[in-house]
Amino acid sequence: MFIRQLFDRDTWTYTYLIADPDTKEAAIIDAVKEQFDRDAQLIEELGFKLKYSLETHVHADHVTSSGKLRDRFGAQVVLQEASNAKCADILAKDGDVLKLGDKEIKVLHTPGHTDADATFQIDGAVFTGDALFVRGCGRTDFQAGSTESLYNSINDRIFSLPDDTVIYPGHDYKGHTASTVGEEKAYNPRLGGGKDLEAFAEIMDNLNLPAPARLDESLPGNMRCGAELN
């Protein structure tokens, strides 16, 4: 399985280009508008056929380039069905499987950061978006977020996967690139070590995070798959 991790420095966002090396069918996960030229050039240089532009959720901190990627490559835009994003080509449900050449991408509904978060599982890896970070997790204080839902999503869906499953997060702020289920179960300071819901809720209730700097631009832009507002 081909996996390339890309980074947007301004928003600390990871974008992933994944592909079946045999058929050259590819998908991009959480593309960023300002990095469209970089991503398009890489897809073309590697000779990939972009089949999907996958979004782990409706982002509040950056605007996607999924609409532009659809226009350029014919990729189908995929969001979780609870997003109700009319711009999407596929509103995926929990358990849906997307074919990528000879590979399969399984959609896991992992709400909590928002009510429409999706984790994408392929081979021995999961792309967790803002649900689970390396030694952290997404906030739960807006966009229909729920601390209890996030706790259940991580413990019941992600932590139930084999310990050697590689975790590729949607962001990182401390220089980490990836982790494993086993590591996060043991060392994640918010959820690891068998923390119960009460302990997790106390941590989340006291984060006191500011609103994302690009909130007013990002949410309406992403409900249009990155199309310019009129």
- Reported in sequence order, the residue ranges of 55-157 that DSSP labels E, i.e. its strands, are 76-80, 90-92, 97-100, 103-109, 118-122, 125-129, 132-133, 136-137
Q: What is the pLDDT of residues 82-126, one digit of tens each?
A: 999 999 999 999 999 999 999 999 999 999 999 999 999 999 999
Q: What is the pLDDT of residues 125-158, one digit of tens each?
A: 999 999 999 999 999 999 999 999 999 999 999 9
Statement: residue 229 has pLDDT above 80: no
- CATH assignment of the domain containing 135: 3.60.15.10
For residue 225, being part of any structural domain is answered with: no
For residue 118, being part of any structural domain is answered with: yes
Question: For residues 191 and 155, what is the distance between their CA atoms, to the nearest angstrom?
Answer: 8
For residue 166, being part of any structural domain is answered with: yes
| Phi, then psi, of 147 in degrees rounded to 5 | -60, -45
pLDDT band at 228 (very low <50, low <70, confident <90, very high): low
For residue 213, being part of any structural domain is answered with: no
For residue 227, being part of any structural domain is answered with: no
For residue 149, being part of any structural domain is answered with: yes
The CA-based angle 69-93-63, given to 5 degrees, is 35
For residue 37, being part of any structural domain is answered with: yes
Predicted TM-score of the model (pTM)? 0.97
Whether the CA torsion 192, 198, 199, 202 is positive or negative: it is positive
Q: State the average pLDDT over residues 26-33.
A: 98
pLDDT (0 to 100) of residue 227:
87
Q: State the average pLDDT over residues 52-77.
A: 98
| Phi, then psi, of 103 in degrees rounded to 5 | -100, 165
Q: State the average pLDDT over residues 176-204.
A: 98
Residues of the domain holding 167? 2-208
Statement: residue 230 has pLDDT above 60: no
For residue 155, being part of any structural domain is answered with: yes
Query: What's the number of domains the chain is made of?
Result: 1
- Reported in sequence order, the residue ranges of 170-219 that DSSP labels E, i.e. its strands, are 179-180
